[in-house]
Amino acid sequence: VDQQGRVMLVAIGRPDDPSYVADAERMAELMTEMGTKTDWDREEKQHNRGHFASASYGWSYGKGQPRPKRLGGERQEMMREFVNEPCTQRVAAFQSASFALWFPKSYAEFRKRNSQLKEKEPTFDGNIKGSVYSCCTANCTNTWTYIHRDGRNAAGACCAINAGGRFNPTKGGQLIIWDLKLVIDFPAGSTILLPSALFRHSNIPTQPGDKRVSFTQYTSGGIHRWLEYGGRTEEEFALQDPEGFEQMMKERPERWRKALQMFSTFEELRSGVVE
């Protein structure tokens, strides 16, 4: 929690259910198989988050796109099969339900934005069954990240991270939240909800011989901005509605305050009254 008592991140853990544990382990096995059987390009294995192979699936907006669209590329069929696996859908749905429980204001905002995106882009059909997030990434080879923020993710919201594999969580794989000076043990099968656009974070490397993979869900902040602009690019917004655009630009420096308002206090969560 922060100084105002707002819940900022949650180490969810995992359900006390052997069948869920089995599904989480199966999902990790699938990612490990993808990691070893795929001929990954250099760019897929070396990036600003670390040296491990990863593939993403879902909806994005940025890099000059006129509107949100599904990610493309040669890994999409592999990822489509992965996200349609019952084990993946179960973990994804648990992450989404945890997001709804601990961050109800952000969750409600995501649902509203998903409905708006469906109106603007009828081909939008969500990403994974039972989940409110619009994109996911499978990190498929031994995964530990460099210090980074995920600046393209929606602010004022948490991404969901699941760890998997065979490793000793007391000797490697811990999640470090640098801005909060926290080091969190992160056992296989567990989920952590983290506002990754706000806090610098990384992982401790695993021990020699250990193998760690991870699965994350998130939503692009660009999609939400596109919707705030009325389903148009920033350039189109400025051209078609100069006054509205000018007002939004004036409000931009205070967006971080609005983002913080999306987090609830323990008292609000306990009472069930979240305004």
- Following DSSP, what letter does each residue of 126-194 receive, concatenated? -SSTT---SEEEEE-SS--PPSB--TTBPTTS-EEEEEEEE--TTTS--EEEGGGTEEE---TT-EEEE
Instruction: Decide: pTM greater than 0.85.
Output: yes
pLDDT of residue 63: 79
* β-strand partners of 177: 182, 201
C-alpha angle 129-192-111 in degrees, rounded to nearest 5: 40
- pLDDT tier at 272 (50, 70, 90 boundaries)? confident
Alpha-carbon radius of gyration of the chain? 19
Contact 56, 135 (CB under 8 A): yes
Ramachandran class of 247: left when φ > 0, alpha when ψ lies in -120 to 50, beta otherwise: alpha
Contact 189, 163 (CB under 8 A): yes
Query: Mean pLDDT over all residues of the chain?
Result: 95
Strand segments (E) across the chain: 10-13, 54-60, 69-70, 135-139, 159-166, 175-177, 182-184, 191-194, 201-203, 211-218
Contacts 24+ apart (CB under 8 A), 14-18: 14/94, 14/189, 14/190, 14/191, 15/94
Domains and CATH numbers, the chain: 10-271 (2.60.120.620)
Residues contacting 198, CB < 8 A, separation 6+: 8, 149, 155, 179, 259
Contact 206, 142 (CB under 8 A): yes
Contact 110, 102 (CB under 8 A): no
- pLDDT tier at 274 (50, 70, 90 boundaries)? low
**Percentage, residues of the chain above pLDDT 90:** 91
pLDDT of residue 156: 86
Which amino acid is located at 173 in the chain? G
Lowest mean pLDDT among 72-86, 115-129, 252-266: 252-266
The residue ranking higher by pLDDT, 132 or 65, is 132
Contact 78, 34 (CB under 8 A): yes
Q: How many angstroms separate the CA atoms of 268 and 249, rounded? A: 32
Residues contacting 123, CB < 8 A, separation 6+: 70
Q: Which of 149, 136, 128, 144 is nearest to 195 (CA)?
A: 149
Bridging pattern class, strands 201-203 and 69-70: unpaired
Q: Which of 97, 79, 101 is nearest to 88 (CA)?
A: 79
Q: How many angstroms separate the CA atoms of 51 and 31, rounded? A: 16
Q: What is the pLDDT of residues 223-254, one digit of tens each?
A: 999 999 999 999 999 999 999 999 999 998 88
pLDDT of residue 275: 60
Query: Is 80 exceeded by the pLDDT of residue 208?
Result: yes
Q: Which of 27, 80, 259 is nearest to 153 (CA)?
A: 259
